[in-house]
Every structure is written in C-alpha cells, then in structure tokens.
Structure 1
Amino acid sequence: MTKKELSGRLADARHYAAIATAFALPLSTSAQAIAVSIFAVLAIVTLDRARFEATLRMPAAWLPVALFALIALGTLWSVQPTFGLAAKWIGPYAKLLLIPLVMATAITRRQALQIGYGFLAACLILLALSWASFLWPTGPWTWFKAPGVPVKDNAVQSGCFALCAFGLAFGALRIWGIDRRRAVAMGALALLFLADVFLIYLSKTGAIMAAALLGLFLLHIGGWKRTMLVGMPAVIVVAVALLASAPAQRRLAEIGTDISASQGTVGGGETVSTGARLDFWRKAVDFVKAAPLLGHGTGSIKPLYQSLEATRPSPYGEATPDPHNQTLHVVLQLGLIGGALLWAMWIAHARLFLARDMASVFGQAIVLQNVIGGLFNSHISAVTQGMLYCLAVGLLGAMVIANEKKL
C-alpha cells in the first residue's frame, strides 16, 4: 500500500467516524463518546499542518482554545480543596478543542451533507418513536426516559428536533423552484418535528429555542407575503399543538408555581425548575461580586452553592454544580475575563456565518440555538448540546472557509 493510498483510506475512515458521531449524538452518550474519539484521532492523523496553522489564526478557531486554556489555568486558584477535584471540571470544556480541529479538516460539500443526513436519520428514528408513543399511549414504551422521549432527555430531543425542522424547512425553501414534491415532503416533515417539540413533552428551553429558529427561518424567506405564506402554517401548528396538549399546558402553568416555589423551600424536581433557576441566578450575582475578575476557579460552582445551603437552601434541596446559565457557568469559575472570552467566541462564530449560503445559514442556526439555550442551561459544558455545537461549528466553518477560498 502506497502512502497516498493509506492517506485516502484514513480520510475515508475519518469520514465514516464523523457520520457515526452525527448519528450517535441524539441517541447515545456512550456511542457518541466512542465515535467522536475515533474521529478525533483520525482527524489528527490526517491533519494538514499548514491548513491547521492557517485556521488557528482565525478568531473563530483560537478563541475556543483560549477559553479552554483559561479553564485549565483556573484550577490554580480554585476553591476546591484538591487539584484533582478541580481538574475533573476541565473535561466538560475539552470539546472546545474540536472546533479548530474540525474546521481545519478537509471536508467536501457532499461529505458534509452525508454527515448531516446521519444526524437527521437518528432524529427520524426518535421522531417515529415519539409520535408512535403519542398515538398509541398503551404501547410498549415503558423503557422511555419520559413520555415521548425514548432516550436522553426532552431538552436534548427538542433541541435536535428544532434543528432538524429548521434544516428541512430551509432545504425545502431552496429547492422549491426545482422539485416541489420533494420540497413539500421536506416541509411536512419539518412541521412534524416542530409539532413534536410543542405537543408531546414540552421542554421550556427547547420551545424557546425552536421559536428562535422559526424567527431566523422567517428572516431568510424574504418578502412579507412569502413570510406570511410560510410562517402562518408553522404558527398554526405550534398553536394547535399547545392547545391540544394537556402536558404542554400543565408545564406552562408550572412556570408561575415554580417562581413562587423559589421564594420558599419547596422540594421537588422538574416542578421547580424555573424557580430553581431564579434562585441559582440570584445567588450567582453575589458570588460574582465576591470575585469579579478571575472568579473562584475551575470546579468552584458546587462549593459556592454549598456554602449557602444552611442559610439560603436551594429549591432542589441540595447544592447545584450548575447555575443553568452558560455565561454564569464560566463567570463563576473564571470571572468576567472568562465571560468576555465566551461571548467573544460566540460573536466570532456568528461573524463567520454572516453570508446567506446554506452552510452559513445553518451555522447561524447553531450559534443562535446555543446562545439562546445558554441563557437557561450550560449548553457548552453539557455532553450532547456542547458536542453538537462544537462539531457543527467546526464542520460548517470548514465549509464556509472552503467557499471563501473558491471566490
């Protein structure tokens, strides 16, 4: 086997690992970890050094590395009693290193579509199971994680479904003048994904992200007539789903109850999620004031909240390791310097995707979803949402960079 043949086979294996990673993301954390590890090794082995160095000169590539480096350095001033306890919190941000790696990987448009199809295929499996459990509630669904949610949780599923709805709707818009039958089928499938988010098991954060992506989609349609023509069916689907879904109405009604619960010490889980967030955020403001510049160090979040449990107990009944806000997750550990790096990274990624080609528009959706989701959860440090963001930004960034070089 010649060196060229070996290089080609390694590149093919890297591509198959990327498809496997995309397929595993919505389905299995373990499979996701195995697939992305294989992909990362193959990406490093097949890396073009000159291309990687050129990519690292871009803010969209080096800012994630800088944020990770600061997380690692944050162990030096952590309030955790030992280095080992602090160091384990570096791991959730290690995925940021995938952004420049994937961005520097040579990926063709066809390969990018195949990776996207892998993600869509997994989501279609979940969609079919979710709707089947809704239409046949007495079926064999006892193994589901929650009603209508076969695996992982409703926040992950609704986020993945919202992205699929956006991608299918935008794809349908692009091919409307070429293949209307296919466009109609894609549009109908997009509405099924969207309806599932609001009808079967409503995630409040997922619903907000889906609404934001719907707004982004309407912005790209162009012209108020087309916006009304396309937007009205989506709005009707969402409204009908909310009105027809007793679980959705119940979860919306919980918001007021949750806020009231945050004023006391009501125990519970999901039923006090909104109130718990408000409690976390109020306490976080005090923590930031105590160490505004560099924060309290990596891994300091749970010890900080634990210090207040005796006098200001959490609605959950125990200290949290997560303030359920991505900015606070960084600022509590790394101070305003870390928060500035986080937002600089988001802005750099948003600027990378300012064009109106398909890769850029999908990139806009990924960044918007992560920023909106980051208001209510720590999505970058989360296993699935964070990995999805890093891999998607890297992949779509590689496509945008390749397109710019062709111009």
Structure 2
Amino acid sequence: MTIQPAAWAGPADARPWRSSATLFQAADVLAALIAASLPWSTTAPSIFVGLWLLAVTPTIDWRDYARSLTRSAFALPFVLLLLALVGTLWSDGAWADRLHAIKPVVKLVLIPPLLYHFSRSERGFQVCLAFLVSCALLAVYSWIVLLDPTWKLTATASAGVPVKNYIDQSQEFTLCAFALALPALTFWRGGSVIATAACLSLILLFVTNMVFVASARTALLCIAVLLALFAWQHLSRCAALLLLAGALAASALAWTASPYLRQRITDIAVEYQHGREDISRASTAQRLTYWRKSFSAFVEAPLLGHGTGSIKRQFERAARGESGLDAEIVSNPHNQTLNVAVQWGLLGIVLLYAMWIAHLRLFAGEGLAAWIGLVVVAQNIVSSVLNSHLFDFHEGWIYVLGVGIAGGMALKTKAGGQP
C-alpha cells in the first residue's frame, strides 16, 4: 500500500503550540515517564499514556496533523485498527474475544501523535535517555535479585528477573545495547576515550546479564540480526570482518563460561523431542504445533481471515478429539504474521508488512535517531517470527514509543531542524 506523502511541515509551522508551551513541556515529561516506567510496570505506563494524551491534544495543530496523515507511516496504524474493528463483523469468535483482540491494535494509533509531537519537540533524546537509565538500573537490580531472590519486587518465574518476565527483560537489554553501539563507535572515531568506555561499559552490563542471568532465545536471534545490520550500516568491510571475528570469539567465551546459556540453547532440542510427552517442557514443540494449526486456519479463509478475535475458536475446533499438545487451546500462535493471517487473511498481512516497511523507511537516513528507530523496527520484525510481539503489551509499547519518538526526531532532522 502506497500513500503519497505531502510536504512535511517543519518546526516553523508549529505556531499553535507556542501559546501552550507548558502543556507541550508536560507532554515531553510524561513521555519520559512512560519510557522510564515501562521496564518496571504495566499500570504506570498506561496511566502516563492517558495523561500524555490529555497534555498533547491541545498543542496539536489539527490541520497540520491531518496533512501528516497522508504519509503511510502515520496512516497505516489507523488502517490496521479500522480492519480490526470491521473484522469483528465476520468473526466467529465470542464477542468477549473480539473486543479483547482489538486492544493490542489500539495502541498502534499512538504512533502518529508521537511522530507528530516529537517532530516538533527538542527533548526526544531525553526520553530515550530515560528509558536507557531505567533499563540500566533494572540490569543492576537483576544481578542483586539473582544473588538474593528476596529482593524481587514481584513473584516472577525466573531467577534474576525482578519484574515481569525474562522475555521482556531481554528485549529491553538488547535494544539498549544496540542503541548504544553507534554512540560508542562515534565517540571512538572522535577520540573521546571516556565516553567510549562509558558506552561500552553499559553495553557490557546488558550483554553479560543476558549471558549469565536471564535471556530469551528470541533475543539471541535478534542479536545476530542486529549485529549484521550494524556492520552493514556503519562499518567498512574490514571492520565488519573484525566485528564478526570478535562476535564469534565472544560467543565461544560465553558458551564456555555460562552453564545457563548452554542450557538455554541445548533445551531447544529437548523441548522438541520430549514436548509431546511433557507439556511443561514443550516450548519448541508448542510453537511448531501452534504454527501448523494457525496456517491450516489461514488456508481455510485466506483473503479476509476468520475475523477479529477468532484465533481461540479456531484452536477449539482443531482440538476436538485430540490429546496432548494438539488439544491445547490458545489465542496467540506466537508468530505475528500468523496472528494477523488467521484473523484478517492476506489483507491483514499486506497491511502489517506495509506498516513495517513504512516505518523502516522513516529511518533511512543518518544519525542516532535513525539508528535507534531502525533497531526498534528490525528487532520487532525479527522477534515477531517467534512471538506476536507487535500485539504483546510490553514489546508492543516499545515499538510504539520507539517508532513514535525516534521517528519524530528523524522527521525533524529531515525537515532541517536540529537532530
């Protein structure tokens, strides 16, 4: 889907919000609070999002905002939500399931106002810094919890995970580590040893936590892809080969030094081989079963799918007369494409990938904002192979905030403002 962009209105066109500078600044502060609270809570970010909308709405020049909606990066989240709403009409799922399935899509429509706001704001990097500092504190606290579990803030299922779960924690740390990669390289090339060492120390904090404390295998896949992306974007061929050699050496060292990491990798084969006999150790076998059933459901209704909230009903039908894994009933196939395909068919898949591509195009330029946004979108696409991360609460909000804030900064840079 291609929507021709209108000419982008830069900061000079932002006169309406100058009379509400206090609200504009409050919106920046609230965005920072959303970012800082996201690694620790689900309730606090939701509250701050509501307050952010209240603060930012009076600052919007609605004519200018309407023109921005001609851009695909702005419009496609609304189109996806429209499809989810209309999809309830042909869904065979219960109405409770239909309404519940709309909620993960609703948050995507915060991307356009975030893009618009941070194309005018001067504080986008401060919001990114709030998220980085919060994640760094979480990484330190994670080591404390590993050594003394009584320090846990909530009852989590994994050692060394003080809040939420190891998947969310790994996604945050991966994002932060690679967001810091470009500043580290820039400082190194500029001869700033102290700044380079600070960036590398933070990267090491996040990476060692994933190696020795808690890591999701999805994050390990993302790391491999993001390493290749970083080398392709920012390194010469010789430097890329050195990075590859260093990464292989570091991986070998991590494999040797971390029994935890070895177990996480070798468990893949165990989960596949024994998952059908022991569902408690069936992560790999579960995913393969979910994917097979979801693909079969998609084939039955390839064009428009079975409707919003229909995944659970399709699994109920497939479970009749089955046992073990084949009898499991879920509403999440742990693959973003299949999640969309079962509900909205090929139309949904086209819109999903069109949105991803439109957001990737936002970050085609140079600079730190473009790199952060590129990491956010690439991480979401890769991790969505093994999960429905765009629709999950935590990873979905990382995507919304990352694309909205970094995308706004990138648009500001392209319009001639300060990066």
Query: What does residue 210 of structure 1 align with?
Result: 223
* Whole-Å separation in 1 of the counterparts to 2:155 and 2:251: 24
* Whole-Å separation in 2 of the counterparts to 1:332 and 1:216: 31
Query: What does residue 68 of structure 1 align with?
Result: 81
Aligned-residue offset at 1:4: 7.4
Q: Residues 209 and 233 (structure 1 numbering): CA distance in 2 closer, same or farther, change over 3 Å?
A: same
* Whole-Å separation in 1 of the counterparts to 2:298 and 2:83: 17
Q: Residues 142 and 367 (structure 1 numbering): CA distance in 2 closer, same or farther, change over 3 Å?
A: closer
Q: Residues 97 and 313 (structure 1 numbering): CA distance in 2 closer, same or farther, change over 3 Å?
A: farther
* Whole-Å separation in 1 of the counterparts to 2:365 and 2:87: 36
* Whole-Å separation in 1 of the counterparts to 2:89 and 2:119: 38
Q: Residues 77 and 193 (structure 1 numbering): CA distance in 2 closer, same or farther, change over 3 Å?
A: same
Counterpart of 2:103 (choices 91, 115, 130) is 91
The answer to whether the aligner puts 1:337 opposite 2:350 as a matched pair is no
Aligned-residue offset at 1:179: 1.9
Supply the RMSD in Å over aligned alpha carbons: 2.2
Judge which range, 160-169 or 175-184, deviates more.
Answer: 175-184
Counterpart of 2:197 (choices 184, 205, 211) is 184
The answer to whether the aligner puts 1:193 opposite 2:206 as a matched pair is yes
Counterpart of 2:387 (choices 368, 377, 380) is 377
Q: How does 1:104-119 map to 2 (within 5 A)?
A: 104-107=116-119, 110-119=122-131
Q: Residues 44 and 382 (structure 1 numbering): CA distance in 2 closer, same or farther, change over 3 Å?
A: same
Aligned-residue offset at 1:54: 2.2
Q: Residues 4 and 188 (structure 1 numbering): CA distance in 2 closer, same or farther, change over 3 Å?
A: closer
Aligned-residue offset at 1:139: 6.6
Q: How does 1:22-37 map to 2 (within 5 A)?
A: 22-37=35-50
Identity %, equivalent residues: 33
TM-score, structure 1 normalization: 0.92
Q: Counterpart of 1:29 in structure 2: which amino acid?
A: T
Aligned-residue offset at 1:220: 3.0
* Whole-Å separation in 2 of the counterparts to 1:47 and 1:288: 41
Q: Counterpart of 1:287 in structure 2: which amino acid?
A: A
Q: Residues 353 and 85 (structure 1 numbering): CA distance in 2 closer, same or farther, change over 3 Å?
A: same
Render the CA deviation track for 1:239-290: whole Å, top value 9, x for unaligned: 323332222212211111222245x35321xx21111000001111110111
* Whole-Å separation in 1 of the counterparts to 2:217 and 2:203: 20
Q: Does the CA contact (< 8 Å) of 2:23 and 2:59 recur in 1? A: yes
Aligned-residue offset at 1:228: 4.4
* Whole-Å separation in 1 of the counterparts to 2:322 and 2:62: 53
Query: What does residue 71 of structure 2 align with?
Result: 58
Aligned-residue offset at 1:205: 0.7
Judge which range, 179-188 or 142-151, deviates more.
Answer: 142-151
* Whole-Å separation in 2 of the counterparts to 1:313 and 1:298: 27
Counterpart of 2:143 (choices 128, 131, 139) is 131
The answer to whether the aligner puts 1:300 opposite 2:300 as a matched pair is no
Q: Does the CA contact (< 8 Å) of 1:323 and 1:329 recur in 2? A: yes
Query: What does residue 149 of structure 1 align with?
Result: 161
Render the CA deviation track for 1:292-351: whole Å, top value 9, x for unaligned: 111111111111111122334453963111000001111100111101100111111112
Q: Does the CA contact (< 8 Å) of 1:305 and 1:320 recur in 2? A: yes
Q: Counterpart of 1:147 in structure 2: which amino acid?
A: A
Query: What does residue 40 of structure 1 align with?
Result: 53
Render the CA deviation track for 1:23-68: whole Å, top value 9, x for unaligned: 0111100111111121122222221213312221111111111011
Q: Please list every run of 5 or more consecutive structure 1 residues that lacks an aligned counterpart in the other structure.
A: none
Q: Residues 138 and 99 (structure 1 numbering): CA distance in 2 closer, same or farther, change over 3 Å?
A: closer
Judge which range, 250-259 or 278-287, deviates more.
Answer: 250-259
Q: Residues 138 and 56 (structure 1 numbering): CA distance in 2 closer, same or farther, change over 3 Å?
A: closer
* Whole-Å separation in 2 of the counterparts to 1:325 and 1:102: 26
* Whole-Å separation in 1 of the counterparts to 2:363 and 2:97: 38
Number of residue pairs aligned between Structure 1 and Structure 2: 400
Query: What does residue 407 of structure 2 align with?
Result: 397
Query: What does residue 267 of structure 1 align with?
Result: 279
Aligned-residue offset at 1:203: 0.9
Query: What does residue 239 of structure 1 align with?
Result: 252
* Whole-Å separation in 1 of the counterparts to 2:293 and 2:69: 37
Judge which range, 122-131 or 220-229, deviates more.
Answer: 220-229
Counterpart of 1:163 (choices 175, 190, 194) is 175
The answer to whether the aligner puts 1:288 opposite 2:298 as a matched pair is yes
Q: Residues 17 and 114 (structure 1 numbering): CA distance in 2 closer, same or farther, change over 3 Å?
A: same
Counterpart of 1:351 (choices 345, 361, 373) is 361
Report the secondary structure of 2:306's partner residue.
coil
Aligned-residue offset at 1:393: 0.7
Q: Counterpart of 2:79 in structure 1: which amino acid?
A: A
Q: Does the CA contact (< 8 Å) of 2:370 and 2:410 recur in 1? A: yes
Q: Please list every run of 5 or more consecutive structure 2 residues that lacks an aligned counterpart in the other structure.
A: 1-15
Aligned-residue offset at 1:92: 1.1
Q: Residues 316 and 122 (structure 1 numbering): CA distance in 2 closer, same or farther, change over 3 Å?
A: farther
